[in-house]
Structure 1
Amino acid sequence: MPTVKPRLSKQHQRWVMPTLVALVSGILMGLTVAPVEAWFLAWIALAPLWVLVLFPTQRLKLLIPLVWGIGYHGVALAWITGVHPMMWMGVPWLASIAIALFCWIAITLWGAVLVTTWAVCMTVFSRGVGTFTRVLIGVALWCGLESLWSLGPLYWSSLSYTQSPHNLVILHLGQISGSLAVTGAIVAVNGLLAEAWIRYQGSGIGNRGLGKSYKAAMRLFASSCLLFVALHLVGFGLYSRPLVQPPQAALKVGIIQGNIPNTIKLYPEGLRRAIAGYTEGYITLADRGVDAVLTPEGALPFMWSEALRTPLYSAVQQKGVTAWIGAFGEQGQSYTNSMFTLTGDGEFSRYDKVKLVPIGEYIPFEQILGGLIHRLSPLEAKQVPGSPDQVFDTPFGRAIAAICYSSAFPEQLRYQANQGGQFILSAANNAHYNPSMPAQHHAQDTMRAIESDRWAVRATNTGYSGIVDPHGKTLWISGLNTYELHAETIYRRTTQTLYVRWGDWLTPLLLGLAVVFKLTSIQASQK
């Protein structure tokens, strides 16, 4: 027995402890978003991963980042398990559990792959470079990978959204170069902290006050603190600018939160409640003097041609107040998830959802998975996405439309703002998940409002509906699982932030600088 204990202790040190540290730090990063919303942890939770990836004695190069990514994305996206139970759709209990777990595991591993890719690239490209060059490379790689990640079908848990909706000051960096400016700030501060710790570990316990490594560690720690403060000062400068709100730009908008649970939404009871609730809500808001009324995604869960025969359509014809109505639009033999502008004169415009939810709205690898999850589709026809270059004109000027999942893709809203969108209309369902999902969705829309310098009006089925100003302040937010009506005055804006004009210019710049500094280091080592 005495000979076994040292071997187990050594194994514990080399394998168990690093893995546990990676898991715990990943979980801490996951706690930055709803429901815990401990956003401040994001500024330290990445540092342990950085240390473990770069520490000379560390050999678990793939396991460590994979575990960290599982901890972060697994906790942050745990709300996806709320798709269970699906017995109301005819899916058996065990199959419902299987589908929920499959979705959770798939999106968690997808995020963990990004972290692992970053770690591998960091290990390869940061060899033989100085500390600050390594930090630059680490930031550039993370931003570059997140940028590529945003081009795919699964994109939600960017590091940037760990700060929303609470740290509005740092979120204003998004006006400079989008959400990846916030991501880069988080990675840079964590990187400097990690480098300080690595230098500290190599300083020697007996030479803390004298050794060069110890002094370098203190300088790096101070640099991380100064960078944290400097970034927040830049954000505060943008945050503190007053909003110019001329009376002629005012627009009084009404919101209807219909509160039709998914369990009844597609059945006769749900259809009756939807038609009655949205019709009565529209009439009430119209009588309050609103200029327009926004309804949630799929407020009328059937084809638009059928919606034209509902009492809601008749009420709009009678009152003449514009309504933005969520329904399904026909497109050949397929259908779209759409938002329609309806005026007293009839249909004015239409916007089709661009980013569809994998599995929920379309089936990836349909030939393989189609038979397993076909019941998730609300209609027998196939749902198709809208064109990415759509614009959404209204009687009050061009709007920026975001239907549910699209809120997570900054470029979708940036393009519309660049094309003249003056305010954001966000329509979502958000039903059938636990409360952290709608809270995270609200956080996404808060970021989009800041980045584009636009007012955002959010209408959801079961919560949280809300009003967000261009500085990200939530002026009103609804409750969960309640029928609510609200009217608020917003202001149309034509300003264009640096991000709206130029897009994410920072990531290519960082990648370019990283390449230059890496080549310079290689040349210096060859002399």
Structure 2
Amino acid sequence: MGRSEKSRKMMFGISRRVLFNSASACLSGITVAFLFPNFNLEFLAWVSLVPLLYAVSNSNSFKESFLYGFLAGVISYIIILYWIVYTVQKFGGLPYYIAAFALLLLASYLALYFALFSGFGRILLNNYRILNIILIPSCWVFFEFLKSNLLTGFPWENLGVSQYLNLPFIQIVNITGTPGLSFVIVLVNYLVFHFIFYKNRISKKQALFELIFGLSVFIIVISYGYYNIYSVNRLLRNKKPVRVALIQGNIGMFQKWKITKKRTTGIYLNLTKKSLKYRPKLAIWPETALPYIISREPFYWDKVMNFSKKNKIDLIFGAIGLKLLNGRYHFYNRDYMFTQSGGFSYYDKHHLVPFGEYIPLKNQLPFLAHILKGAGIGNFTAGKRFRMLKSGNLKAGSMICYESLFNSLVRNFSKKGANFLVSITDDAWYGRTSAPYQDMSMTVFPAVENERFVARAGNSGISGIISPTGKILGETGIFKRTYLIGYIKLINRKTFFALYGNIFVYIIDAVFILSIAYLPVKNKK
């Protein structure tokens, strides 16, 4: 056989291998995307990463496996976040091709974490054997946690969140947080991958160990889940329910900032008035339901306050806050509580949306700040204190917009004594896409992590009540002007997660870092 013929066969072999690996990575990317709303094929989570793990194990270098992970991540996030195109085009007023480019840019950034998992996953597969049953899931959790916190963080639809309907499984988050779910899912994926592709390369002793370990972890998690559901239901049995009205104004995003204060305020007061026939103790309006500085509008302040006092109902609503600090006015995305006794409290949003509610690095890049300010970017200041919204025995921790995604932030409320949680949002930005359903699915987890009822009011929906076990007890449709009557119960018991936060993640991250740091020593031996 001639040298040129050998080269052609080798090139063809490499090309076929790379193409098959690339197809495997794409399959994982598609499968992961299909786990979330509106597909909700969450049962695929247990095998969704098997094709990617195969591609990684079949790669020849860190760079190659990195590229497979990047490919899987880009495909996955383009499918999950397709609604970015609608939002940027509709509300940013940008051409379709720029909106599509914005999606590609965001998907590419998020795909880097897939890629890093794949690159370091290959290192682990090539250097460890039995320990990979812990190290591969630890690798995923490390980079997922990094994605959720680095550069303000974007924990949108992390892998464990796909199981929001699997109530027994998700109970473990009141100890581990949602990264614990991702850990178990990746562990099962690794076991399936190892059984299929490595069954002839490992000893029976190792195979038996992996099987027993995997089954033990899964059984412990599910058993704890059923126990916790029983424990919570028992705790709630003798607690008095509090009737709540969730008010969904459904005022369009463009319309919201243009119509008069009188009309906006009237819409919410009238809907609340209709709900009074059910005698709710508390009514909740969405984020910036009153899109003006109500503290500077004594007429509307008194109007809303007098409604609360007259009808003996507490009101929680979103508005614009204002403070004068060091000679400058600061604006806040604020959540007020007006009580039937005439008092009030408020909470200012901590975790603002970059390029939506504020401009990052505006002092360092003043030219960029000037351009983006002209495009309608908000100029809000982040709140500093975890203020509770209080009225009598009601102590609400407030999550404004996507703050509900940040579990290390939300746990501060229950740790400081909140006995239920409120989520107010305005998902009209997303239109009739899957994003409102994705947002609702993620709001399940603060309820379970903190063992608190969550009462959620959205301008255009979805509004709903979520139990401390993560069960959605009632919800509205999207883009309907309506209200929902539901019940919550007040809980004071604190979960392990509320008290100690992401300790599980820190331990797992330490394990991963040490495993990588130890490699030079291991290889020297």
CA distance in 2, matches of 1:47, 1:214: 21
Relative distance call for 1:56 and 1:97 in structure 2 (3 A) is closer
CA distance in 2, matches of 1:460, 1:337: 15
1:385-404 matches, within 5 Å, as 385-387=382-384, 389-404=386-401
Paired residue for 2:109? 110
Q: Which of 291, 294, 297 is matched with 2:287 structurally?
A: 297
Higher mean alpha-carbon deviation, 16-25 vs 147-156, is at: 147-156
**Given the alignment of the two structures, is residue 331 of structure 1 paired with residue 339 of structure 2, yes or no?**
no
Q: Equivalent residue of 2:235, what SS? A: coil
Paired residue for 2:348? 352
The amino acid across from 1:337 in the alignment is N
The amino acid across from 1:417 in the alignment is S
**How much does 1:376 deviate?**
5.1
Relative distance call for 1:45 and 1:225 in structure 2 (3 A) is farther
Relative distance call for 1:307 and 1:169 in structure 2 (3 A) is farther
| Aligned-CA RMSD value | 3.0
**Given the alignment of the two structures, is residue 73 of structure 1 paired with residue 77 of structure 2, yes or no?**
yes
Tell me, yes or no, if the aligned pair for 1:424 and 1:456 is still in contact at 8 Å. yes
Higher mean alpha-carbon deviation, 29-38 vs 507-516, is at: 507-516
CA distance in 2, matches of 1:105, 1:364: 21
CA distance in 2, matches of 1:391, 1:149: 29
Q: Equivalent residue of 1:480, what SS? A: coil
Paired residue for 1:315? 307
Relative distance call for 1:519 and 1:261 in structure 2 (3 A) is closer
Paired residue for 1:283? 273
Relative distance call for 1:14 and 1:346 in structure 2 (3 A) is same
CA distance in 1, matches of 2:298, 2:521: 70
Relative distance call for 1:227 and 1:345 in structure 2 (3 A) is closer
CA distance in 1, matches of 2:245, 2:298: 21
**How much does 1:63 deviate?**
0.9
Q: Which of 23, 26, 46 is matched with 1:23 structurally?
A: 26
* TM-score normalised by length of structure 2: 0.87
Q: Equivalent residue of 2:473, what SS? A: strand
1:464-483 matches, within 5 Å, as 464-483=462-481
Tell me, yes or no, if the aligned pair for 1:300 and 1:307 is still in contact at 8 Å. no
**How much does 1:421 deviate?**
1.0
Paired residue for 1:159? 159
CA distance in 2, matches of 1:495, 1:76: 36
**Given the alignment of the two structures, is residue 231 of structure 1 paired with residue 221 of structure 2, yes or no?**
yes
Tell me, yes or no, if the aligned pair for 2:347 and 2:386 is still in contact at 8 Å. no
The amino acid across from 2:160 in the alignment is S
**Given the alignment of the two structures, is residue 254 of structure 1 paired with residue 245 of structure 2, yes or no?**
yes
**How much does 1:395 deviate?**
3.2
Tell me, yes or no, if the aligned pair for 2:452 and 2:467 is still in contact at 8 Å. yes
CA distance in 2, matches of 1:315, 1:507: 46
Cα offsets for 1:137-168 (capped at 9, x unmatched) = 2222222233333323222121111111x111
Q: Equivalent residue of 2:485, what SS? A: strand
The amino acid across from 1:114 in the alignment is Y
CA distance in 2, matches of 1:231, 1:168: 11
Provide structure 1 residue ranges, at least 5 long, that are not aligned to the other structure: 204-211
The amino acid across from 1:245 in the alignment is L
Cα offsets for 1:265-295 (capped at 9, x unmatched) = 11126x5542221011222334432111100
CA distance in 1, matches of 2:385, 2:13: 55
Paired residue for 2:337? 341
Relative distance call for 1:31 and 1:40 in structure 2 (3 A) is same
Q: Which of 447, 450, 464 is matched with 1:449 structurally?
A: 447
Paired residue for 1:43? 46
Tell me, yes or no, if the aligned pair for 1:361 and 1:377 is still in contact at 8 Å. no
Tell me, yes or no, if the aligned pair for 1:122 and 1:141 is still in contact at 8 Å. yes
CA distance in 2, matches of 1:225, 1:303: 56
Cα offsets for 1:290-327 (capped at 9, x unmatched) = 11110000101111225542243442243242100110
Q: Percent identity?
A: 22
Relative distance call for 1:442 and 1:226 in structure 2 (3 A) is same
CA distance in 2, matches of 1:19, 1:218: 31
Q: Equivalent residue of 1:240, what SS? A: helix
Cα offsets for 1:192-234 (capped at 9, x unmatched) = 222223314x55xxxxxxxx66886687567656644443233
Provide structure 2 residue ranges, at least 5 long, that are not aligned to the other structure: none
Paired residue for 1:55? 58
**How much does 1:123 deviate?**
3.4
The amino acid across from 2:264 in the alignment is A
CA distance in 2, matches of 1:98, 1:344: 51
Q: Equivalent residue of 2:236, what SS? A: coil
Tell me, yes or no, if the aligned pair for 2:21 and 2:54 is still in contact at 8 Å. no
**Given the alignment of the two structures, is residue 437 of structure 1 paired with residue 435 of structure 2, yes or no?**
yes
CA distance in 1, matches of 2:308, 2:68: 58
Tell me, yes or no, if the aligned pair for 1:25 and 1:46 is still in contact at 8 Å. yes
Relative distance call for 1:23 and 1:56 in structure 2 (3 A) is closer
CA distance in 1, matches of 2:346, 2:210: 53
1:121-132 matches, within 5 Å, as 121-125=120-124, 127-131=126-130
Paired residue for 1:486? 484
Relative distance call for 1:12 and 1:50 in structure 2 (3 A) is same
**How much does 1:57 deviate?**
4.3
Relative distance call for 1:222 and 1:193 in structure 2 (3 A) is farther
Relative distance call for 1:119 and 1:394 in structure 2 (3 A) is farther
* TM-score normalised by length of structure 1: 0.87
CA distance in 1, matches of 2:368, 2:24: 36
Relative distance call for 1:373 and 1:40 in structure 2 (3 A) is farther
Q: Equivalent residue of 2:299, what SS? A: coil
CA distance in 1, matches of 2:262, 2:53: 55
Relative distance call for 1:375 and 1:516 in structure 2 (3 A) is closer
Paired residue for 1:148? 146
Tell me, yes or no, if the aligned pair for 1:359 and 1:376 is still in contact at 8 Å. no
**How much does 1:110 deviate?**
2.5
Relative distance call for 1:56 and 1:483 in structure 2 (3 A) is closer
